[in-house]
Amino acid sequence: MTSTQETLSQARQCHEEGRFHAAADLLLEAYRNNPADPAVARELGFLLHSVGDLSGAARFLHRAFQGDPSDSETVAEYVLVLHSQGRGEEASHLLVSSLEQGLIPEELAKRLAAA
């Protein structure tokens, strides 16, 4: 049986190679096995955002945010998705909420600068 971290690593590799369906299959299986894992939901959100599915990306990033509201990767990606959807006010509220829950501003700034 493959660990979640191994599955996430394999999915990232597939994604980097442009094998989006293979990455999605791995991530969806991991999500079915552990829907409460914010790392799996985050990776699904990343993948969906990269292929232009903003509504799907927002759903999974919201789940990831609920599981770990101070994760800079999740917050940065979620803010970008919300902004792309024209939901700037919601993105602002998300930022405030994540900062209140312990997000380190410098980590967020690095993630957003890299986007």
| Token pair belonging to 95 | 């930022």
Q: Which of 19, 2, 73, 81 is nearest to 43 (CA)?
A: 73
* C-beta neighbour count of 113 within 10 angstroms: 8
CATH number, residue 12: 1.25.40.10
- Find the domain containing 70 and state its range: 4-114
Q: How many structural domains comprise the chain?
A: 1
pLDDT of 115 reads 81
Distance (Å, whole) CA 26 – CA 50: 16
Q: What is the pTM of this model?
A: 0.92
pLDDT of 59 reads 97
Indicate whether 22 pLDDT > 80.
Answer: yes
Indicate whether 1 pLDDT > 60.
Answer: no
